[in-house]
Amino acid sequence: MTTGHRTAPTVHTAVVGLQWGDEGKGKIVDLLTSEHDVIVRYNGGANAGHTVQVGTERYALHLIPSGILYGDKTCVIGNGVVVDPEKLLQEIDTLRARGIRVGTNLRISDRAHVVMPYHKEQDAALEEYLTSKTAHDQGNLSIGTTRRGIGPAYADKVRRSMAIRVGDLLDPEYLRSRLHVICKLRTAEIEALGVKTAPLDPEALATRYAEFGERLRPHVDDTVYALHDSIRAGRRILFEGANASLLDIDHGTFPYVTSSNCSTLGIPAGTGVPGAAIGRVLGIMKAYSTRVGAGPFPTELDNELGHRIRERGREYGTTTGRPRRCGWLDLVAVRYSAMVCGATGIACTLFDVLSGFDEIKLCVRYRLPDGTETDRFIPDAHRLEGVTPIYETMPGWSDEIRDAADRDSLPATARKYLSRIEEVTGIPIEVVSLGPERTQTLVDGRRAIALATA
């Protein structure tokens, strides 16, 4: 047993979505980036769309961590991400064209798996098949994916023999030999879904993807060692979750989920950094709920109220432009995802969107088909379909709150709404977001950045 002086360990932070995505993770990561040195994506791929607004400039990040906008931070795409090199290079070019530095500050794991064009073809073909009449006889099982090839790429990772990793792109002969085998089998798999496709050309693919590899070479790294070196050097890490906990492959509303562990449980596997290194988990929660794509959504408002939320919140997908389904805040779901993620605090975002409603509802329990009640979430689509939300109804507020200086100056009913969320979840709301811009944020009850400096 040591009795000597021990310095407090550096606190590393995770930002994670507590609902079905688009909670405003990009905005909060941008806000926290100033206090961190390294920003790391650990899961998902170009299915994510993280918006950051700086003044009147809006940036949509898909594969690159949102911290890239600062220019002086190291941004890491961890081994748990599936990388579409074509999309990544486009994203790099777009950012550079807007004056953002993307050089050696962007590190990409050599072990991250590659999304190939045939993954996107397979993703679309399977979705079309499941939407078609033939499949409907068995019930419509289409997931409403982003068609970015995410599921097929992760499936190849798990299948092992059909997978390509970023490191493979740097070895053209090895890449070519793998693609010859993969393409033969892959054409047959796509055709089995009823899609007539030209046979995949392994030579053309190998040449093209080796070129992508050359362009990415300066960024490719053993990011596991790089991250541990950073930790030893006392640098602070910020883990940026993509997608969200209720879309987690193991803990979400299966099968209407994405194919990665988007909750904080994905961090150790997706980066090589043990979970014990994370001291702070900020769960991002919209003040209401949204969902894109198919799957159960107990508090959905498929009516005029839902439409009003969609228009006020500009709820259209950052990645696909699809209108998002909207509904009241589901605290049964949020309490569950906060538990799975180990959330130490909550950021309540898009709070300004709720101004102007006569009354606002909070779902605190579910009624099950047998008439009994539960406060437990059901991470299974088929069983979750059967629940009815039980609401607490609260009066709304009419004033716009975007310019509120602190939490105390919010309308009393708005303050009560926040307090009730804290009571039900047992987790403090550390951040309240009142608009898309950096300055429109209350941290620990006060404006994070003075309006005057905007």
What count of other Cβ atoms lies within 10 Å of the Cβ of residue 433? 26
C-alpha span between 156 and 169 (Å, rounded): 16
- CB count, 10 Å around CB of 186? 23
Instruction: Rule CB under 6 A: choose which of 122, 243, 264, 271 binds ligand IMO.
Output: 243
The residue from 249, 292, 410, 434 that contacts ligand IMO (CB under 6 A) is 292
Site string for ligand GDP, 313-352 (x = CB under 6 A): xx---x------------------------------xx-x
Interaction between residue 22 and ligand IMO (CB under 6 A): yes
Binding of ligand GDP by 43 (CB under 6 A): no
Q: Is 30 a catalytic residue?
A: no
The least distance separating ligand GDP from the CB of residue 44, rounded to whole angstroms, comes to 10
Minimum CB separation from ligand GDP for residue 27, in Å?
4
Question: Which of 105, 223, 253, 258 is close enough to bind ligand IMO by CB under 6 A?
Answer: 258
The nearer residue to ligand GDP, 156 or 352, going by C-beta atoms, is: 352
Residue 50, interface with ligand GDP (CB under 6 A)? Answer: yes
Residue 435 contacts ligand GDP per CB under 6 A: yes
User: Which of the listed partners (Mg ion, ligand IMO, ligand GDP, none) does 24 bind, with a CB threshold of 5 to 8 Å by partner kind?
Assistant: ligand GDP
Quick check: helix, strand or coil at residue 183?
A: helix
Contact 222, 107 (CB under 8 A): no
Binding residues for Mg ion, per CB under 5 A?
22, 49, 318
Contact of 328 with 299, CB cutoff 8 Å:
yes
Minimum distance between the CB of residue 218 and ligand IMO, rounded to whole angstroms? 26
Q: Least distance (Å) from ligand GDP to the CB of residue 258? A: 12
22 is catalytic: yes
Establish if 427 lies at the interface with ligand GDP (CB under 6 A): no
Q: Go through the chain and tell me how many residues it has.
A: 454
Stretch that binds ligand GDP, among 50-58, 204-212, 254-262, 273-281 (CB under 6 A): 50-58
Helix (H, G, I), strand (E, B) or coil at 11: coil
Range 233-292, binding ligand GDP (CB under 6 A): none
Contact 117, 205 (CB under 8 A): yes
**Residue with Cβ nearer ligand GDP (76 or 354):** 354
DSSP 248: -
Tokens representing 180 are: 């010859």
Contacts of 170 (CB under 8 A, 6+ apart): 110, 213, 214, 217, 220
157 beta partners: none
Site string for ligand IMO, 124-153 (x = CB under 6 A): -------------------xxxx-x-xx--
- List the catalytic residue out of 12, 30, 36, 50: 50
Residue from 196, 213, 256, 273 nearest 379 by CA? 256
Q: Pick from 152, 293, 306, 327 the residue near ligand IMO by CB under 6 A.
A: 293
- What is the DSSP secondary-structure string of 337-397? HHHHHT-SEEEEE-GGGGTT-SEEEEEEEEE-TTS-EE-S---BHHHHTT-EEEEEEEE--
Nearest to 291 by CA among 17, 48, 21, 18: 21
Beta-carbon contacts of 263 under 8 Å, excluding residues fewer than 6 positions away, are 16, 241, 245, 248, 251, 337, 340, 341
**DSSP state, residue 176:** H
- Torsion-angle region of 15 (φ positive above 0: left; ψ -120 to 50: alpha; else: beta): beta
Q: Check binding of 49 to ligand IMO (CB under 6 A).
A: yes
- The residue within the footprint of ligand IMO, chosen from 63, 166, 247, 404 (CB under 6 A), is 247
Among 436, 438, 439, 442, binds ligand GDP (CB under 6 A): 436
Smallest distance from Mg ion to CB 116, Å? 24
Q: Which is nearer to ligand IMO, 74 or 146 (CB)?
A: 146
Q: Could you tell which of ligand IMO, Mg ion, ligand GDP, none binds residue 353, using a CB distance below 5 to 8 A set by kind?
A: ligand GDP
Q: How far apart are CA 121 and CA 104, in angstroms?
A: 32
Choose among 73, 123, 81: nearest CA to 103.
73
Site for ligand GDP in 350-369 (CB under 6 A): 350, 352-353
Give the footprint of ligand GDP on this chain (CB under 6 A): 17, 21-27, 49-51, 53, 313-314, 318, 349-350, 352-353, 433-436
What are the catalytic residues? Answer: 22, 50
